[in-house]
């Protein structure tokens, strides 16, 4: 089963502009500039969709450079201490897998701020691989997969901080590990 969240999202300091079937607020301006405070994407998934023990987490996004608080993130989690996330820092993405006790970090360099980057992590017990823009960047043959996934946040696992600052073109969660060829094809710009 493939779970695809079909949306185009623009984030800037918690501002979410969603296209397709998700309406956004409209601010009519004539003589002055008005700042949108925020739109929210609700019901982006639940445990029935995300309760998997192996799979692939993919994000196609343009991070807007050094964010307000030095980094922002997109997180697939249980809302607490079990998560897989892409943490966007200046010129790199840190893919983190945390199962409540053990944390594994995969530092993906070669990221161009203010440019589109496609990143994926495939995960299953003792096999984690990260990809960036059509290139396998890292392979790890040890580790434990987090469990209890029930949400996808464009922020921390609780959704309360470190809101992603950039434009998201595509986000996908697969309930299977993509082959290396599939992951390279998916992440190729």
Question: Model confidence over 45-98: pLDDT tens digits?
Answer: 666 677 789 999 999 999 886 655 678 899 999 999 999 999 998 889 999 999
Neighbours of 187 (CB within 10 A): 23
Side-chain-side CA neighbours of 121 within 13 Å: the count stands at 26
Confidence of residue 13 (pLDDT cuts 50, 70, 90): very low
Question: What's the mean pLDDT in 163-189?
Answer: 93
Cα–Cα distance for residue pair 142/54, rounded to 1 Å: 14
pLDDT of amino acid 50? 76
Distances 57 to 25, 67, 117, 176 between C-alpha atoms, Å: 29, 22, 14, 10
Cα–Cα distance for residue pair 16/88, rounded to 1 Å: 17
Place of tokens 């994000």: 59
Q: Which range is least confidently modeled, 12-21, 51-60, 115-124? A: 12-21
16-20, 89-93, 126-130, 149-153 — which one is most confidently predicted on average?
126-130
Any alpha helices (H) in 26-123, and if so which ranges?
A: 47-50
Q: Is 3.30.1340.30 the CATH classification of the domain at 2-24+36-187?
A: no
- For the record, the structure tokens of 177 come out as 């590990």
Question: What's the mean pLDDT in 142-168?
Answer: 89
Per-residue burial over 136-173, b = 16 or more CB atoms within 10 Å of its CB, e = otherwise: ebeeeeebbbbebbbbbbbbbbebeebbbbbbbebbbb
Question: What's the mean pLDDT in 29-49?
Answer: 61
Neighbours of 36 (CB within 10 A): 14
pLDDT of amino acid 65? 67
Domain locations along the chain = 2-24+36-187
pLDDT of amino acid 26? 57
The secondary element (H helix, E strand) that includes residue 180 is helix 180-187
Q: Which range is least confidently modeled, 38-47, 109-118, 133-142? A: 38-47
Q: Which range is least confidently modeled, 17-21, 112-116, 172-176? A: 17-21
Question: What's the mean pLDDT in 127-143?
Answer: 96
Confidence of residue 112 (pLDDT cuts 50, 70, 90): confident
Closest to 169 in 3D by CA, of 45, 5, 2, 25: 5
Side-chain-side CA neighbours of 94 within 13 Å: the count stands at 13
């Amino acid at each position: 089963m493939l779970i695809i969240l079909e949306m185009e999202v623009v984030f800037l300091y918690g501002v979410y502009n969603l296209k397709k079937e998700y309406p956004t607020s409209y601010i009519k301006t004539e003589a002055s500039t008005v700042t949108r405070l925020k739109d929210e994407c609700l019901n982006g998934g639940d445990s029935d969709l995300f309760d998997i023990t192996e799979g692939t987490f993919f994000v196609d996004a343009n991070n807007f450079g050094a964010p307000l608080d030095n980094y922002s993130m997109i997180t697939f989690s249980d809302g607490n201490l079990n998560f897989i996330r892409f943490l966007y820092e200046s010129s790199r993405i840190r893919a983190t897998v945390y199962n409540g006790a053990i944390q594994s970090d995969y530092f993906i360099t070669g990221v161009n701020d203010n440019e589109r980057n496609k990143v994926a992590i495939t995960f299953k017990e003792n096999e984690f691989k990260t990809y960036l823009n059509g290139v396998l960047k890292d392979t790890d043959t040890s580790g434990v997969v987090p469990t209890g996934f029930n949400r996808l946040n464009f922020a921390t696992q609780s959704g309360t901080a470190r809101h992603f600052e950039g434009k998201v073109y595509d986000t996908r969660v697969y309930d299977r590990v993509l082959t290396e060829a599939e992951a390279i094809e998916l992440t190729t710009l």
